[in-house]
A = this chain, B = another copy of it.
Amino acid sequence: MTRVVCRTLAPRLGDPAANQRAVVEAIAAESAAGADLLVLPELATSGYCFASREEAGACAVAADGPELAQWCAAVHGRTVVVCGFPERGGDGRLYNSAALLDAGGVRAVHRKAHLWDRETLFFTPGESPPPVVDTAHGAVAVLICYDLEFPEYTRRAARDGADLLAVPVNWPLVSRPPGERPPEVVIAQAAARVNRVVVACCDRSGTERGQAWTEGSTIVGADGWVLSCDAREGRGAVSAVVDPAVCRDKQLTRHNDLFADLRPALYGS
């Protein structure tokens, strides 16, 4: 069984040192408290509402630099961590990235492939499917925010063997009818159910340059139902215990299998 925790953070634009401390503290505290998989927000070390490419670049770090090494050093035990950060690539370009890491080091880096709105002004889109990493707590795929809204991309992660999708997000608050969940959560529920995977989204809080956030961290079970979703309780974290083994059985009925039932010849345009 895997104990999944999404810990909402409130990064402060222009204070990467404070943001780095908050990430390190969250990793240390949640891993000590027994999280198996800890998901933290998109761009957790920088904030989001950049005014310019220069501002984004000023807080970008290398995936093999000291900042992420600090994250790894903060991990107690066998916790796997997924956290977003602005990456300066070896090519000098900026990427909206997320690392999957444990006490032994960085295991994978995902560069957001579907950029949202003004991100296109600052970041270069990634060119890869979601990485899927076999961990002690299940096979974990990493996607970032708007990536999740492309069912073709979540399907790819699931077909590549993911049991759990770990999704750092920054969800700008949008209107929704009274009583409804955030629209991104509805999409996460569908992605979970049509692929039989767990989806763990970690959102941010803290109004930034007038932008409010959904604060919608949510863990969705492999049958598509929300397991935990109110990060404003307690210490700003949601958690759930899930069974990755359940995600490996794609059989729906004696005659149906989620992946065997696909008809790819009918989907191309």
Contacts and interface: CB of A to CB of B under 8 A. Distances in A.
A117 B256 contact: yes
Copies of this protein in the complex: 2
Interface in A216-245: 223-225
Interface of A: 113-121, 125, 127-129, 146, 149-153, 155-156, 159-160, 176-177, 180, 183, 186-187, 189-191, 193-194, 223-225, 253-256, 261-264, 266-269
A186 B186 contact: yes
A187 to B, nearest CB: 5
Among A121, A223, A254, A269, max chain B CB count under 10 A is at: A269
Given A116-B255, A151-B152, A156-B267, 5 more contacts: A152-B267, A156-B269, A160-B269, A183-B223, A190-B191
Given A189-B190, A256-B116, A263-B114, A151 B151 contact: yes
A111 to B, nearest CB: 11
A177 B149 CA distance: 24
A267 B180 contact: no
Nearest to A130: B266
B151 A262 contact: no
A187 B158 CA distance: 17
Contact of A189 (B127, B146, B186): B186
Nearest to A265: B127
Contacts of A118: 255
A82 to B, nearest CB: 19
A33 to B, nearest CB: 27
B113 A266 contact: yes
A194 B117 contact: no
B191 A129 contact: no
19 contacts: A114-B263, A116-B256, A117-B255, A125-B263, A129-B266, A150-B194, A150-B267, A152-B155, A152-B262, A152-B264, A152-B267, A153-B263, A156-B268, A159-B269, A160-B269, A176-B225, A183-B193, A183-B223, A187-B193
A-B interface, 4 closest residue pairs, ranked by CB to CB distance from nearest: A151-B151, A190-B190, A152-B267, A117-B253
Q: Which of A155, A261, A264 has the most chain B CB atoms closer than 10 A to its own CB?
A: A261
A268 B180 CA distance: 33
Contacts of A262: 150, 152
